[in-house]
C-alpha cells in the first residue's frame, strides 16, 4: 500500500485500542515496503514518531524520527529509527513530565509522566537484535509509540485535565510560534 492510501485512525476508532501482533517476516518485501511508506507518511504529517496501528496495521512496529518541524519546533534531530517487536528491559526510577501530542489525537497536547531513561531491545529493519539506552525526549517518544502497540494513548497517562491544552495554545506558550 502507498502511504497516500493510509488511513490515519483517530481516538474513538476501536483499532487504536488493540494489542498489536508481533512482526514475523521482517525482511519480506511487504514489511520493507510498509516501513518505507510509513516513514514517508510520518514525515508528510510532521510527526516525530508513528506506530503501525495508527494507520490501522496491527503489527508491533513503529518509527521514531524526531526533528524540528511546525508541530514540534524544538524537537531534537535524529536519524529515522525503525523499531520492530520492541520491549523495555529497564526503566529509571526517575519519571519526568513532558508535553506530548499524537497524530491520532489532532489539535491537543498533554503533559505526560514518562521514565527519564529506559533500556530497550528491538529488531532492526535489517533483522538485527538491538539493545540501546534512551534518555529524555527520545525515551519519551519510544514509550509513547510502544504504548500504541498495546492500545494505549497518551491521554490515558495524563494526570489532570488541567494538563491538557489545545495545540494552538501550546505552540503560543511553549515555542516562539
What cell does 26 get?
521482517
Contact range with Ni ion by CB under 5 A, out of 71-79, 96-104, 112-120, 159-167: 96-104
Contacts of 21 (CB under 8 A, 6+ apart): 58, 59, 60
Using CA atoms, how far apart are residues 15 and 77, in angstroms rounded to an integer? 30
DSSP tally for the chain: helices H, then strands E: 3, 8
Residue 164, H or E segment? strand 164-166
* Minimum distance from residue 126 beta carbon to Ni ion (Å): 25
- C-beta of residue 98 within 8 angstroms of C-beta of residue 173: no
Which of the ranges 13-21, 35-43, 102-110, 111-119 carries the binding residues for Ni ion, by CB under 5 A? 102-110
Size of the chain in residues = 177
User: Locate cell 488541567: which residue?
Assistant: 162
Residue 64 binds to Ni ion (criterion: CB under 5 A)? no
Cα–Cα–Cα angle for 116, 119, 124, nearest 5°?
125
Quick check: helix, strand or coil at residue 150? coil
96 catalytic, yes or no? Answer: no
Q: Binder to Ni ion among 65, 102, 108, 138 (CB under 5 A)?
A: 102
Q: How far is the CB of 49 from Ni ion (least distance, A)?
A: 7
State the minimum distance, in angstroms, from the CB of residue 27 to Ni ion. Answer: 27
The residue nearest Ni ion at its CB is 102
| Residue in 145, 163, 167, 169 annotated catalytic | 145
Which residue's CB is nearer to Ni ion, number 115 or number 148?
148
**Shortest distance, position 16 Cβ to Ni ion, whole Å:** 9
Count of residues interacting with Ni ion (CB under 5 A): 1
Summarize as ranges the residues that interact with Ni ion (CB under 5 A).
102
Q: Which residues are catalytic?
A: 145
Amino acid at each position: 500500500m502507498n502511504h497516500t492510501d493510509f488511513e490515519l485512525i483517530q481516538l474513538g476508532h476501536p483499532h487504536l485500542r488493540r494489542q498489536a501482533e508481533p512482526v514475523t517476516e521482517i525482511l519480506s518485501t511487504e514489511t520493507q515496503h510498509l516501513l518505507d511508506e510509513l516513514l514517508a507518511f510520518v514525515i508528510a504529517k510532521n510527526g516525530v514518531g508513528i506506530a503501525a496501528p495508527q494507520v490501522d496495521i496491527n503489527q508491533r512496529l513503529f518509527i521514531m524520527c524526531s526533528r524540528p518541524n511546525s508541530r514540534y519546533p524544538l524537537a531534537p534531530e535524529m536519524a529515522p529509527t525503525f523499531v520492530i517487536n520492541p520491549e523495555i528491559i529497564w526503566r529509571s526510577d526517575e519519571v519526568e513530565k513532558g508535553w506530548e501530542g499524537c497524530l491520532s489525537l489532532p489539535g491537543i497536547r498533554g503533559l505526560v509522566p514518562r521514565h527519564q531513561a529506559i533500556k530497550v531491545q528491538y529488531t532492526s529493519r535489517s533483522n538485527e537484535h538491538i539493545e540501546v539506552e534512551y534518555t529524555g525526549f527520545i525515551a519519551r517518544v519510544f514509550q509513547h509509540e510502544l504504548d500504541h502497540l498495546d492500545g494505549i494513548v497518551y491521554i490515558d497517562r495524563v494526570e489532570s485535565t488541567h494538563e491538557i491544552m489545545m495545540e494552538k495554545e501550546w505552540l503560543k506558550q511553549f515555542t516562539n510560534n
